Amino acid sequence: MIEIGLKHTSKLTVTDAATAMSVGSGDMPVLSTPMMMALMENAAMLAVKDELPEGCTTVGGHIESSHLKPSKIGDMVRAEAEVTKMDGKKIEFKVSAWSGETLLGEGSHLRFIVDRDKFMPKL
């Protein structure tokens, strides 16, 4: 059962592949905003994964976040996600990203519970 307050932390070491230059979102060798947000989504997905009905997963529906500070290659970044609201198949999260004690970005994320076997044929 998915409960308010359920949390997960995902981690990433910034590599060349995660930089703005590599993903095309900028031209600097720093953690890209898309990769930071993907790490936030990963934390949210994993926060609820073990509480879902058999055959179900979650998909992202909306994410909104600031990106306040850069992270260089080699930095360890962690993303934290916490369930803040449940409404049927909708799950809302508070998300944040950190490097050490430095807040990199924060925001909100919405995920939907879907049945894998019903979701894929609709594509």
DSSP annotation string for 3-55: -TT-EEEEEEE--GGGBHHHHTS-SSSBB-HHHHHHHHHHHHHHHHGGGSPTT
pLDDT tens-digit series, residues 81-102: 999 999 999 999 999 999 999 9
pLDDT over 90 at 27, yes or no: yes
Please give the model's pTM, rounded to 2 decimal places: 0.96
Question: pLDDT band for position 1 (50/70/90)?
Answer: confident
The Cβ of residue 53 has, within 10 Å, a number of other Cβ atoms equal to 7
pLDDT at 23 over 90: yes
C-alpha–C-alpha distance, residues 86 and 99, integer Å: 29
pLDDT in tens, 34-88: 999 999 999 999 999 999 999 999 999 999 999 999 999 999 999 999 999 999 9
Residue 31 corresponds to which tokens in the numbers above?
A: 């953690």
